[in-house]
Amino acid sequence: MNILEEIVEVKKEEVKNLKKKYSFNSFNSMEYFQSQSRSFKKTVSNQKKISIIAEVKKASPSKGIIQNNFNHIRISEAYQSAGADAISVLTDEKFFKGHLNFLSDIRKQTNIPLLRKDFLIDEYQILEAKAFGADAILLISEILSINQIKDLTDCAIENNLDVLLELHSENEISKIDFNRNDLIGINNRDLKTFEVDLTTTERVLKKIDKQITSVSESGISKRDDIEYLKSINVNAILVGEHFMRSENPADELKQFTEWCRYEN
């Protein structure tokens, strides 16, 4: 069993416990369930620059603890003040040391769109994301069937959440209806081996016929990476580990913001 399969098995157990704790209707009374969502897709579709989704990330299965002095509120406030277009919040506890409460805590302190980043396999997790303050959710095509992608996307749309659908290779393109899912994340990290190859973004984009909004994820750490992604017309980037390892994530993000602007 590889790490991705192990994570999915844990998520199945988490979903069972979630369904014991909540009913569908119980989400309605929670703090953010009826609140207006902020448009994640619109925010990351700026034509004048590559948009930046800055990630709040304490740890990963491959790297362990990334930031020892971790404070999700302080980090998110720094991201917003430094010009992040949106914030990705890791909520997985077992493998990434995140927490669902990070979402609601950060929602209270910021006014830019929030992405719940987790391994979502059930509609309950989507309702939970909305209730805790997410504006968008991540769906990972590699762990979902065609029908699951459709059903989970429909559930998100019905609850005014945007969907960032993530691919890891060209092999998953056939599973996707790009008329329905036109906000596509391309993860340059193979979730089975954790190896990173930035050209994954280019290879996948070349195979997609439809006009989409594209987000390149993982392995982005320097100006040359940004210039390369500009050359292939990427709309946005998601950066986590690089900012988390920086002595001053806000200053590093400000530098990225300069690099991401298109010259007039």
List, by residue number, the catalytic residues.
55, 57, 117, 166, 187, 217-218
Number of neighbours of residue 166 by Cβ within 10 angstroms? 22
Q: Which pair of structure tokens corresponds to residue 133?
A: 């303050």
Of 120, 64, 2, 114, the closest CA to residue 241 belongs to 64
111: number of Cβ within 10 Å? 8
Q: How many angstroms separate the CA atoms of 233 and 201, rounded?
A: 10
Alpha-carbon span 260 to 93, nearest angstrom: 32
Q: Which two tokens stand for residue 49?
A: 């620059």
* Neighbouring C-beta atoms of residue 92, cutoff 10 Å: 20
Report the helix count and the strand count for the chain, using DSSP H and E. 10, 10
| Structural tokens at position 179 | 């008329």
Please name the amino acid found at residue 119: F
